[in-house]
Amino acid sequence: MNHRPRAASVEAAVQAFEDMPIAVAAIEEDGLVVVAANRAARAIGVGDVVGRPVAETLTTAVAHRMLPRVEEAVRARRPVPAEEILVEIGPTDARRDVWLRWSLDPWYDSDGRYRGVIAYAQDVTGLVDQRLAAEARAVGVEERYEVARDVIIALQGALLPSSVPVLPRVDVAAAYLVAGREQAAGGDWFDAAVAPDGRVSLVVGDVVGHGVTASAAMSQMRAILASRLLDGATIPDALGSLDRYARITTHAFATSACVVLLDPETGDLEYATRGHPAPLVVGPSGTRWLEQTGGGPLGIEDGTEVRTGRLADDEALLLFTDGLVEVVGRRLDHRLQQVVEAAEQALRGAVIGRYAGRNTAERLCLHVPWALDEGFVDDVTVLAASRRPAPADLRLRVPAQADGLAPVRERVESWARDVGLEPRERAALVLAASEAMTNCIEHAYAGRPPGEVRIDASLRRATVVMTVADDGAWRQPTESPGDRGHGLSMVASSGVRLSVDPSPTGTCVEFELDARRRAPVESPALAPTATLTGGPVVDVDPGGVVRVGGVLDTEASAQLLDAVVRTRSRGGVLPVTVEVEPTAFLGSPAVRAIERYVRGADAAARQVEVVVHEGSPAALTLAVVGTPVVTR
């Protein structure tokens, strides 16, 4: 009676093995022969599977991939984890590609004797096809994102100054570095120009947010401020114009800015910070931070306090945006100390081998971001100005002879390099001097002994002025000069402005060339962009206090904070306390939101008290921008 149920059970087990949707095959250690295989396994193999070595049951390409793993599993007697492989199955005249997920496990009999391995394989073609299609779509999205980001970066580059002025007593340099996270380009800007009174305006600003809207707002704010300063407006008047504009323009609201007016001759300076880090002064005798002037970001409140200082002949000034010092998990005071140390290294030439031939301002803009780079999570803008002795004027007196042309060109080229002109401008100046002197040689002293040619050049504010004069006779140009007489036209086409002053006793040709240096300077090789971990945490405790923690570095996190604060305040009717946890990280968007609360600029959240813990990263960040909060 017991034999019939046992036989039925064995038959059922064998049938279940045969019908399994997963391919199963038993491979003996001796000869790697397949001794058992269900229907699904036999469908994968080539010809009859059972009783043949594994190598003979697979196509050459599949055997090349699978056989080494089978051999290794038998030798090591250990499982082989699952992997996906593309194989051909079916009759020779109707074979098709199938993705299999296959694995190997050791095979022991009931007595514990090792027999070989059991191979498992499952058809996962549908799942793999779905995954590959999803990956292809993701690649398409990523490619479109990269294109969009490249457009934003290109737009940002077009909206920022392409150069900074070359000045007699001050070297100016700048660098703009785009963070790699999201569409980071957009909010930062810098500017440098010469005001009507001869002072140099230095500006660094930061519009909240990233992307096209931030780029557009940045360009508008930059244009307004530059126009006002070029017209001779004072710092309070110029920033007052930005205040009014930021108040009525959503994406410009709460922009931060630092503006400096520097007298190149005396080193006297006026400056103002509006929700922005103060500049650093670095010199041989040490470094010092200029004091904050107070006042929140633009558009929040009226009025700008201006403070004064002085830059010694051998000192430099460094302005930057907060992207340079914002790093999750790093105390702001430590990052600011890193700025000091890096600036001192750049000043004293400790890095001069890496930046050979660079002036102090350029070394600051190159080395400071490089030294502080831990993977920037926001754009970084740095602007530097270093005082220097004025370059000597060029004064040449040479005979009007052809063999003097080459030495004159060399002297003009050397002087232009010492002044700080870019290669293109140097070439234009050399061409001007060469063509004007050639005219003197060929025309001024025609028919008499060669006289003298006088070449004088100087740097006046941001303009190179050069004169080439002789004591010969003026020769009226002919109407049809043929192949000659085009030298000064070539000079004019190179961007040099010229005027000719002929007289019976000699001719003077005056050339003017805008002296500019390319900006940003070459970006240093930066580490991969940091990945921020964690997100914003904004909760209301049982006592009604809004508690802020985690990482608040995006506009979305600031919007979350806004939503909670406004809900608690019932549209500005009820007082609200916001307490920032000691470990919270506040990026620019969150700082701007807090500025609105504490300065009463948000109608829906007018009675907000913000509390920070003394010495915490949030307290240090808000102290740098001058935000009035309660410290406990």
Instruction: Assess whether pLDDT exceeds 90 at residue 99.
Output: no
Residue 5, in any domain of the structure: no
Q: How far is CA 621 from CA 181, 330, 628, in A?
A: 21, 11, 12
Position 211 confidence tier, pLDDT thresholds 50, 70, 90: confident
pLDDT tens readout for residues 242-258: 999 998 888 888 899 99
Average pLDDT over residues 532-558: 81
Please give the structure tokens belonging to residue 187: 């909010």
Residues 232, 308 within the same domain:
yes
Residue 168, in any domain of the structure: yes
Residue where one domain finishes, among candidates 66, 98, 123: 123
Query: What's the DSSP call for residue 297?
Result: S
Best-predicted range by mean pLDDT (20-29, 37-46, 156-165, 184-193):
20-29
Burial level of 527, CB count in 10 A (0-12/13-18/19+)?
exposed
Best-predicted range by mean pLDDT (196-210, 346-360, 583-597):
196-210
Q: Is 572 left (phi over 0), alpha (psi -120 to 50) or beta?
A: left
Residue 361, in any domain of the structure: yes
Comparing 31-35, 596-600, 620-624, the range with the smallest average pLDDT is 620-624
Average pLDDT over residues 145-152: 60
Residues 76, 101 within the same domain:
yes
CATH of the domain at 107: 3.30.450.20
Please give the structure tokens belonging to residue 302: 């009226």
- The per-residue pLDDT for 530 is 45
Residues 569, 455 within the same domain:
no
Torsions phi, psi of 104, nearest 5?
-135, 140
CATH of the domain at 488: 3.30.565.10
- The per-residue pLDDT for 68 is 87
Residues 195, 271 within the same domain:
yes
Instruction: Assess whether pLDDT exceeds 90 at residue 596.
Output: no
Residues 364, 331 within the same domain:
yes
Instruction: Assess whether pLDDT exceeds 70 at residue 539.
Output: yes
Residues 380, 458 within the same domain:
no
Best-predicted range by mean pLDDT (52-66, 262-276, 563-577):
262-276
CATH of the domain at 213: 3.60.40.10
- The per-residue pLDDT for 523 is 46
- The per-residue pLDDT for 528 is 45
Instruction: Assess whether pLDDT exceeds 50 at residue 555.
Output: yes
* Percentage of residues of the chain with pLDDT beyond 70: 87
Q: What is the DSSP string of 212-226?
A: HHHHHHHHHHHHHHH
Residue 137, in any domain of the structure: no
- The per-residue pLDDT for 194 is 94
| 623: three-class secondary structure by DSSP | helix
- The per-residue pLDDT for 532 is 47
Residue 359, in any domain of the structure: yes
Q: Which residue has better confidence, 433 or 351?
A: 433
Residue 144, in any domain of the structure: no
Residues 184, 311 within the same domain:
yes
Residues 20, 63 within the same domain:
yes
pTM exceeding the 0.95 threshold for the entire prediction: no
- The per-residue pLDDT for 493 is 78
Position 398 confidence tier, pLDDT thresholds 50, 70, 90: very high
Instruction: Assess whether pLDDT exceeds 80 at residue 527.
Output: no
Instruction: Assess whether pLDDT exceeds 80 at residue 302.
Output: no
Residues 333, 453 within the same domain:
no
Q: With contact defined as beta carbons under 8 Å apart, do 257 and 218 qualify?
A: no
- The per-residue pLDDT for 526 is 45
Q: Which residue has better confidence, 406 or 3?
A: 406
Q: Which residue has better confidence, 270 or 80?
A: 270
Which domain does 293 fall in, by range? 158-387
Strand partners, 164: 517
Residue 150, in any domain of the structure: no
Comparing 147-156, 283-292, 574-583, the range with the smallest average pLDDT is 147-156
Strand order in the sheet with 80-89: 34-37, 23-28, 114-123, 96-108, 80-89
Residues 398, 497 within the same domain:
yes
Position 619 confidence tier, pLDDT thresholds 50, 70, 90: confident
Residue where one domain finishes, among candidates 459, 484, 518: 518
Residue where one domain finishes, among candidates 485, 518, 551: 518
Best-predicted range by mean pLDDT (464-478, 505-519, 608-622):
505-519
- The per-residue pLDDT for 130 is 85
Position 534 confidence tier, pLDDT thresholds 50, 70, 90: low
- The per-residue pLDDT for 154 is 65
Mean pLDDT taken over the chain: 84
Residues 340, 324 within the same domain:
yes
Residues 193, 337 within the same domain:
yes
- Cα separation, 596 vs 576, whole angstroms: 14
pLDDT tens readout for residues 69-83: 889 888 889 888 888
Comparing 163-167, 328-332, 560-564, 613-617, the range with the smallest average pLDDT is 328-332
Instruction: Assess whether pLDDT exceeds 80 at residue 157.
Output: no
pLDDT tens readout for residues 399-430: 989 899 999 999 999 999 999 898 889 989 99
Domain count, the chain: 4
- The per-residue pLDDT for 521 is 45
Residue 530, in any domain of the structure: no
